Amino acid sequence: MKSVAVVILNWNGKKLLEQFLPSVVAHSPEAEIYVADNASTDDSIAFVQQAYPEIKIIKNNGNYGFAKGYNEALQNVEEDIYALVNSDVEVTEGWLQPVIDIFEADLETAIIQPKILDYKNKTHFEYAGAAGGYIDKYGFAFCRGRIFDTIEEDKGQYDTDAQLFWASGACFFIRKEVYRELKGFDEDFFAHQEEIDLCWRAFNKNYKVRFCAQSVIYHVGGATLSASNPHKTFLNFRNSLWMLLKNVPTGQLLPVLFIRLLMDGLAGMRFLLHRQPANFWAVVRAHFYFFVKIRYFLNKRESKQYSNYYKINSITYKYFVKSGKVFDLHFNNSL
């Protein structure tokens, strides 16, 4: 059987570790458990060492964010499968074995996501991943079970394994050799969208991303940055543009970026209309950083990109104009 490392990234998260580590320890007998610490200044690591001496501690030298934090921590983790788990996740009994079974049965599957439900409302999907992610032509992310702010109740409508485009970083399974082949997350992203970028690069190398319905977790979401936080807005808009610059096929790149920049401008105006000037300014700053780094990210492009990365031309048009509020199983399936 494949060996598994459950790796939880921590930064000043003692309260979250106190609350959520017990479920991980209780329900992960198949795995070695690690806490990777981004130079916390609270006593979270002392708590782990005292309460769970069997857990291995990896100490990073600074607060490197999600991307570099994991890249640094995983350099010396040698298990076959990495399960990257947010510190605000409650896992359930038997959550690991169905994932291991998929990895062992299908060698082309490189990345897997479990079903992610809302810890605060356990009958509904959670925003950050739900039942697995896709993007539209312009890089807007959506999920089975969540499109923009519309969250579906889990009625078993997605209880079948499926091929995805991206898996949520809230609980992200990946083969060690693929993670290292792809050189991990893009550290320039710091946090947000880096898991989609990594999945896109895996897609360009013909690896599969899959959803495992039999593996269930509960995610708090927003435990680090709330959805309305301007810094989160900045990271999401900036990183999404960088991701497009890296991964959209050459022939589509200019028109896709042009339309995406216009749509971002409309989103910025919407922030103003809703009296959120800090979020409007976050969009402006994101565009500034995008233009400053154009040449740098063009140089990061891989030698091959595939044009069939998206399932639908515009999820914003479907959602806001056509009132398509839930995932449509009849989307043009280019995957």
Q: Please report, for the domain that includes residue 77, its CATH number.
A: 3.90.550.10
pLDDT tens digits, 24-48: 999 999 999 999 999 999 999 999 9
- Give yes or no for residue 331 having a pLDDT over 90: no
Whole-angstrom distance, CA of residue 129 vs CA of residue 158: 13
pLDDT band at 330, cuts 50/70/90? low
Q: Is residue 293 part of a domain?
A: yes
pLDDT for the residue 45: 96
Look at residue 258 in the predicted model and tell me its pLDDT.
97
Shared domain for 128 and 252, answered yes or no, is no
Same domain, 174 and 109: yes
Q: Give the residue numbers spanning the domain of 91.
A: 4-219
Q: Which of 200, 219, 238 is the last residue of a domain?
A: 219
Considering the domain boundaries, does residue 224 fall inside one? no
In terms of domains, do 191 and 267 share one? Answer: no
Same domain as 317, residue 179:
no
Does residue 227 carry a pLDDT above 80? no
175 closest CA partner among 131, 109, 129: 109
- Among 190, 219, 248, residue at a domain's last position: 219
C-alpha pair distances (Å), 19 with each of 23, 48, 222: 9, 12, 16
User: Would you call 291 helix, strand, or coil by DSSP?
Assistant: helix
Alpha helices (runs of H) in 41-193, residue ranges in sequence order:
44-51, 65-73, 97-105, 176-181
Asked whether residue 284 falls in the same domain as residue 261, the answer is yes
What band does 221 get if pLDDT is binned at 50, 70 and 90? confident
Q: What is the pLDDT at residue 13? A: 96
Residue 333 lies in a domain: no
Please write the tens of the pLDDT for every residue from 143-172.
Answer: 999 999 899 999 999 998 899 999 999 999
Higher pLDDT, 327 or 88: 88
Q: Are residues 236 and 215 in the same domain?
A: no
Total domains, the chain? 2
> Are 243 and 182 part of one and the same domain?
no
In this predicted structure, what is the pLDDT of residue 322?
86
Beta-bridge partners for 32: 5
| pLDDT tens, residue by residue, 135-147 | 999 999 999 999 9
| SS3 label, residue 36 | strand
CB contact at 8 A, 19 and 98: no
* Same domain flag for 153 and 295: no
